A and B are shown apart, each in its own frame.
Chain A
Amino acid sequence: MAEVRLENVCKSFGDVKAVDNISLHVKDGEFIVLLGPSGCGKTTTLRCVAGLEHVDEGKIFIDERDVTNLPPAQRGLSMVFQSYAVFPHMTVFDNIAFGLKLRKASPDQIKERVKEVASLVQIEDLIDRYPYQLSGGQRQRVALARALAVEPKVLLLDEPLSNLDAALRLQMRAELKLLQKKSKVTTLYVTHDQVEAMSMGDRIAIIRNGSLEQVDTPERVFNHPENTFVGNFIGSPPMNMLECDVVEGGSIAIGNFTYKLPESVVKAIRKTKTSRVILGIRPKNITITKEKRKNAFMAKIGVIEPIGEELVVNLTVDGKLLRVIASPSQDLRMGEKVWLTPDTRKIHIFDKKTGKNLL
C-alpha cells in the first residue's frame, strides 16, 4: 500500500530527452496507465521509478520516502517486463520464490507464499516445471506471481501483455485488472495500446516526447481531451481534425461552407482571440445524409471500409480526409457527394497555435 510521487523528473540519453519534467501523483491502490506511442519515454519513466535508470533531475517518492537515490532493491517494489524475464535456469517454484529467498524468509514461509500466489494466478500445477516447458501465457503468469510474491508496495508492469496473442491478451487484461482490484497494490502500467489503457486504468497518463499531455480517467480522456494529441491518440479510428478559420457571426469556415457554432463555444473562442482553430469530431459523431440539412457541409465519399457491424467511410472535404462511421444500411457509394452533420454537443475546438482544447 503506497503512494508514488514523481516531482519534475528528467532523464536524458545523450541529446535525447527521454523524460522531460514529469510530475505525477499516483494514489494509494490506484491502477495508473502510462500511455503513449513507442519511444515517448513511458518505459523510461517506469524504469526511473524502479531505480533501473537514474534520474538526472527531480525526485521520486514512495510513501513520502525519497527513493531517488536508492538502488532498486531498497524501493520495495516489483516489476514485470515485456519479455517476462522468467529465469530459464530455475523452476517455476524457484522463480516465484526468488524475491522471498532474498528477503531471508524461512523455507516454510516461502513454500506457503509461493503456493498462495501460484494459485492466485492459476499456475499451481506448473510449479515444478522449467520455463522452456511453458507457453508464453504461462510464463507471463509466472512473472506476475514472482512480482506479487514479495507483496510489493508498488507493482510496475511494462507492456506485460504485448507478447501474447490477441485472445489471451483479452483474457489476461480482465484477470490482471481483477487481481489488482483484489490485492489493491498501487500499480503503474505501461502500454502503447489505447484500448488496453482505457479498459484497465483507473487513470491514464498520456505521454508524448517525454512530457505528460493529460492525466485523467479513461472517460475524461476520451470525452475531454486536453489537446489535439490526446484527441488524436485516443479512439479508433482517430478523431477527425479540420483546420478552420473563424468567421464573423460565431461560425467557422469549412471549405466553402460556414458551420455555425453554439453560443458557448463561440464565447470560448472569443476569449482567446484566436482566428484559426481546429475542429475535432469523432467519426461516430457525424451523420451522413444524401439531402442537404441545416448547418451541414458537403463531402465526397472515397474508400469505404466495412468493419463488421459498421462502415468506416473515408471522405474528402476541401481536400482533407475525414472518417465517419456509418451503418451498412445506408446505401453509400464511392464518388458520391453527401452532406455531413456533426453532433454539435460532441465537437471539440482546439487552438491552432497551442493545440489546447478551448472548451
Chain B
Amino acid sequence: MSPKRQSLLPFFLILPAVIFFLIFFALPLISGIQTAFTTPEGELTLANFEKIYGKSFIKAVFNTLSLVAIIIPIQLALALVIALLVNTRLFGTSKFLFICAIPIALSEIVAGIIWLSIFTEKGYLNVMLHTLGFLKQPTIYLSYEKPATLFMTIALTEIWRATAIVMLIILPGLQMIHKDYFDTADIFGASRLQKLRYVTLPMLKPTIRTSLIIRTVLAFQMFAPVLVLAGRAFPVLASETYRIQFFTRNIHLAAAYALIIMVISTAFVLFYMRSLRTRWSA
C-alpha cells in the first residue's frame, strides 16, 4: 500500500459511520427542527407550538417529568444495591447477576404486557389477593379514573424493566474502583456505611452521571408500557407524539412535539453534566 493511501485508511474506515450518522442522525435532527417551525406550505411559524400547547400537553409534560422523578432515583438506588450485592462475590452472585440482567433483553412492549397480566382486572394480582382471602371481587387498577394507580403501575413496570440498564452501567464502574482504596479506608477504621459514603459513592460519581444520562434519555422515549397499561388515559410525551402523528397526520405538529422532547431531554443531560462534574475525572 502506498504511504498516501495508508494514511487515508483510518478515515476510509470510519467513512461509512460518518455518512450514516449524517444521513440518519444529523439530517433528521435538522429537518425536524425545520419542520417544527414551518407550516405545511413551508412558511416560518410558531403556530405548531401554539396548537399543541394545551391541557393534554401540560398533562403529558407533567406525567413524563413525574415518572422521571420517581423512577430514576428508585432505579439508581436499586441498581446500586444489586451492584453491591454482586460485588460481595458470595456464592451464587454470578447467577444473581444474570437474573437481574434479563430484563435488559426485553422489549418495552413485552414488559408492558407482562405487567398488564398482573394488573388487569382478572390478573394475577387480584388472583393472588383472592387466593389469600384478602379480596372477594376483583379490584380495577387500570382505569382513567385512578391516575395515581396508573402512575404507579407504569412506574413499577419501568423499574422492573430498566433497572438492569442502570445496574449494568454501575457495576463495571464499581468494579473499577481499586480494592486498595477500601483497604486504606479499613486501616483508618471506616465502617461499611462510611466506606459507601466516603469512598464508593464519590468514586462512582462519573459512572452514576453516565447512567443517569442514558436512563433519563431513554425515559423520554418511553412509550409502549404507557400505551399497554393506560392507553390514552395517561398521556406522556412520546405517546402523545405518536398519537398526533397518527391521528392528526400533521407531521409539523408531531415534529414540534418531538423537538420539545429533544429540548427537555437535552436540558436534563446538560444539567447532569454540570451538577455531577468531578474535578478529578472527565
Contact = CB atoms under 8 A, between A and B. Distances in A.
Interface of A: 54, 69, 71
Interface string B218-252: 00000000000000000000000000000000000
Interface stretch (B1-9, B101-109, B192-200): B1-9
5 contacts: A54-B3, A54-B6, A54-B7, A69-B2, A71-B1
Nearest to B3: A54
B254 to A, nearest CB: 48
A54 B3 CA distance: 7
Nearest to B6: A54
A51 to B, nearest CB: 10
Contacts of A71: 1
Q: Which 5 A-B pairs have the closest CB atoms?
A: A54-B3, A54-B6, A71-B1, A69-B3, A69-B2
A237 to B, nearest CB: 34
Contacts of B7: 54
Nearest to B7: A54
Interface in B1-35: 1-3, 6-7
Contacts of A69: 2-3
Nearest to B2: A69
Contacts of B1: 71
Contacts of B2: 69
Interface of B: 1-3, 6-7
Contacts of A54: 3, 6-7
Interface of A (DSSP majority class): loop
B10 to A, nearest CB: 14
Nearest to A68: B3
Contacts of B6: 54
B237 to A, nearest CB: 46
B2 to A, nearest CB: 7
A231 B50 CA distance: 81
A69 B1 CA distance: 9
A118 B1 CA distance: 33
B145 to A, nearest CB: 64
A351 B2 CA distance: 45
A54 B5 CA distance: 11
A69 B3 CA distance: 8
B84 to A, nearest CB: 33
Contacts of B3: 54, 69
Nearest to B1: A71
A69 B2 CA distance: 7
A75 to B, nearest CB: 14
A71 B184 CA distance: 52
A71 B1 CA distance: 7
A54 B2 CA distance: 9
A54 B7 CA distance: 9
A325 B79 CA distance: 63
A13 to B, nearest CB: 12
B12 to A, nearest CB: 16
B3 to A, nearest CB: 4
A71 B6 CA distance: 11
A170 B6 CA distance: 40
Nearest to B4: A54
A71 B3 CA distance: 10
A214 B198 CA distance: 55
B116 to A, nearest CB: 48
B6 to A, nearest CB: 6
A191 B7 CA distance: 29
B5 to A, nearest CB: 11
A186 B2 CA distance: 27
Nearest to A56: B3
B249 to A, nearest CB: 55
A54 B1 CA distance: 10
A230 B176 CA distance: 43
A71 B7 CA distance: 14
